[in-house]
Amino acid sequence: MQVESPGELLFAQEHSEASLRTPQEIYAEVFREMRPRTPMPLIRIKFLRYANASAKIKLEDGVLEVRIADTLAGAPDLVMQALAEILLSKLFRRPVPAHSNERYRRYLNRRDVRRSLDLVRQIRGRKQVEDAQGRHYNLDHIFEELNFQYFHGLMARPVLGWSPNASRTMLGHYDPSHNAIVLSRILDRPQTPRVAVEYVLFHEMLHLRHPAEHRGARRCVHTKAFKEAEKRFERLGEAQDALRRL
């Protein structure tokens, strides 16, 4: 006898259901269930060519307009309903139901959906990245030094560059869709110690070696293996102190 887990049962339920309702019907049903003081509006659903799985909602002059990425147009009814519950909850400033977040994130984390979204981002997305040679630091040179020191020189070089804007909240990120590592322009200045730039770049290089793991609705970016590898950075404490002073 084979016993199915709750996650497997949920997956089967979502994908055995045919699309019996239009998106407008789903949003009208969720709207009625929420019972806001606002009268039932005219509902307009637009599927647009976004570069990711974006969705936006607004209510204006008796019209509820929902803009959804066309990559979600084929989502099962239960997933579309979960998205409606998320968007309408945010619109009316109510707590988002946990089961809605769970169902929607589980769908986005499906391997086939992730591959489709990555392909769309490659085709439609425009990566804003400036040259690896900054005013003070050259990311190509630093990458090769780190590659030799920590990866035996075996890591293929991705696209490297500085961000157009000097962000303090995101010092670096790896974009798998474009195979690009981008560091914040705020690090490319004389008062930033080189060890801080090395550490941020090393951190992003680890994302190539240790990709995110998807466990149902959870997406684990910094896995146990990632964290263990990060400890190998020789001047870790010094680099982190320098970043805290930024």
Fold match between domain 6-124 and domain 139-244? yes
d(CA 171, CA 186): 8
Q: Residue 121's pLDDT is what?
A: 76
Q: What are the structural domain ranges in the chain?
A: 6-124, 139-244
Architecture in CATH of 6-124:
2-Layer Sandwich (3.30)
Q: Which helix (H) or strand (E) holds 41?
A: none
Strands 159-162 and 180-183, bridge-based pairing: parallel
d(CA 237, CA 233): 9
- pLDDT averages per 10-residue partition of the chain, 246 residues: 39 50 94 92 93 91 95 91 96 95 90 81 71 93 95 90 87 86 93 95 92 70 88 93 88
Tally Cβ neighbours within 10 Å of residue 120. Answer: 19
Closest CA to 134 of 162, 164, 159: 162
Tally Cβ neighbours within 10 Å of residue 14. Answer: 18
Closest CA to 70 of 104, 47, 44: 47
* CB proximity list for 162: less than 8 A, separation 6 or greater: 129, 130, 131, 132, 134, 139, 182, 183, 184, 185, 188
Contact present, 121 and 52 (Cβ < 8 Å): yes
Q: Residue 100's pLDDT is what?
A: 95
Q: Residue 217's pLDDT is what?
A: 56
Q: What is the pTM of this model?
A: 0.57
- CATH code, 139-244: 3.30.2010.10
d(CA 63, CA 43): 6
Contact present, 235 and 179 (Cβ < 8 Å): no
Q: Residue 14's pLDDT is what?
A: 46
Strands 63-69 and 159-162, bridge-based pairing: unpaired
Q: Residue 211's pLDDT is what?
A: 80
